[in-house]
Amino acid sequence: MAPTLRRPSIARYSWFWLTFSLVGVNVCVLLVVVLASPAAIHNSVTAIVTAVLSGTAGGSACVWLYLNSQRKRVLEPIERIIEATHAIAAGALSGRIELDHEAVLDVVRIAEAINGLAEKAVKDITEMRRLERVRSEFIANVSHELRTPIFSVQGYLETLLDGAMEDPEVSLQFLEKAYNNALRLNVLLSDLIDISRIESGELKFSFRYFDVEDLLRDLVQSTEIRAAQRNVTVHCDVISDSPVYGDKERLTQVMTNLFDNAVKYNTEGGHVYVRAEPIDGAMRISVRDTGIGIPTEHLPRIFERFYRVDKDRSRAVGGTGLGLAIVKHILEAHHAPITIQSISGEGTTIAFMLRTGENVS
């Protein structure tokens, strides 16, 4: 691109061509007079000169008026656009170009386009900062979550190597604790891999019709053993036998996470109610517990990665902090928004809607 200083401004460009046009008009007038009556030139030189000078003066006045009007309608608005654009480029993204009503339409459209770019830049930068903050929090959370079981395993093994292996009872106890922490580490890494594959789009879903009653009753049966250990009773109520449409394997993962949370965060002698019922041509699946509940202020963030209402209790019962985030991502892929209702001290209900065979196009 040629240097800016070598390019003419609008004012200089307009002066040149308007003056050139004015001269051309005068020349054309003289040529017409000469060709029409050559003999009249000698008798009317004064009149011709007067006409040319008058035309030149009138044309110059018109040129000046035109450029003056262009200065208000074009040149000054363009100067404002340039100043505002430089300010935006320097980082003042909150600045906007404001033009008077005298500005011509084309210049106004340019200003609106630049304002639109500035607004988009603000949104993009805000989103980038949010993602950077999320990334930093994610890395910090992952580091913390990984460090805890690794340090625990390391501590137990060091104690065993320092002589605790000589005591069979102590060595067995420490080996069990190290093993449990290794299992916790494996679950955490599996959840990290799952959520990474889902968010990157690498995880593919296989949608088909399947019987939701069989799925729920099988999961309830497998959950009853863990529930019995905590003296929690699980109930299952499926009202309709209509097949649902979705990825059975991933929905199994969803229900397993919901069942585990309903049992882990329940109270002694509590209950878990699993229900599937048709509503408005879809299947509503809900998991309700009579557990400790979730305070209202925590509900908006409950599906965030690594977010815990009670960190000590979550770690005590073996949660990774990723279960509900995975649930949300899987249900979003099914276009099944999840809802949560909870009262602290009374229990929590999590529900979502799945399409049935009757309304799948």
- pLDDT tens per residue, range 7-51: 555 566 566 666 766 676 666 666 666 566 565 555 566 666 666
- HEC letters along 163-228: CHHHCHHHHHHHHHHHHHHHHHHHHHHHHHHHHHHHHHCCCCCCCEEECHHHHHHHHHHHHHHHHH
Tell me the whole-structure pTM to 2 decimals.
Answer: 0.61
Residue 73, pLDDT score:
74
Residue 209, pLDDT score:
92
Q: How many CB atoms lie within 10 A of CB 251?
A: 24
E strands within the chain? 208-210, 233-238, 244-246, 271-279, 282-289, 338-343, 347-355
What gap in Å lies between CA 33 and CA 342, rounded to an integer? 97
Residue with tokens 């008026």: 65
Structure tokens given for 101? 């009503």
Structure tokens given for 44? 């009317």
CA angle at 321 for the pair 320 and 323, rounded to the nearest 5°: 90
Among left, alpha and beta (phi > 0; psi -120 to 50; other), residue 318 is: left
Residues in the chain where the model's pLDDT stays below 70: 1-18, 20-22, 24-60, 63, 66-67, 310-320, 357-361
Residue with tokens 């400790």: 292
- CA nearest neighbour of 24 among 56, 48, 63: 56
Residue 2, pLDDT score:
46
Residue with tokens 């999840």: 338
Residue 313, pLDDT score:
53
Kindly give the interhelix angle for 10-36 and 45-70, rounded to the nearest 10 degrees: 160
What gap in Å lies between CA 224 and CA 231, rounded to an integer? 10
234 neighbors 224 (Cβ within 8 angstroms): yes
267 neighbors 291 (Cβ within 8 angstroms): yes
What gap in Å lies between CA 65 and CA 195, rounded to an integer? 68
Kindly give the interhelix angle for 212-229 and 248-264, rounded to the nearest 10 degrees: 30
276 neighbors 213 (Cβ within 8 angstroms): yes
Structural domains in the chain, CATH included, are 4-103 (no CATH), 124-200 (1.10.287.130), 208-359 (3.30.565.10)
What gap in Å lies between CA 238 and CA 281, rounded to an integer? 15
- Per-residue pLDDT of 55-83, as tens digits, reads 666 666 776 776 677 777 777 777 778 87
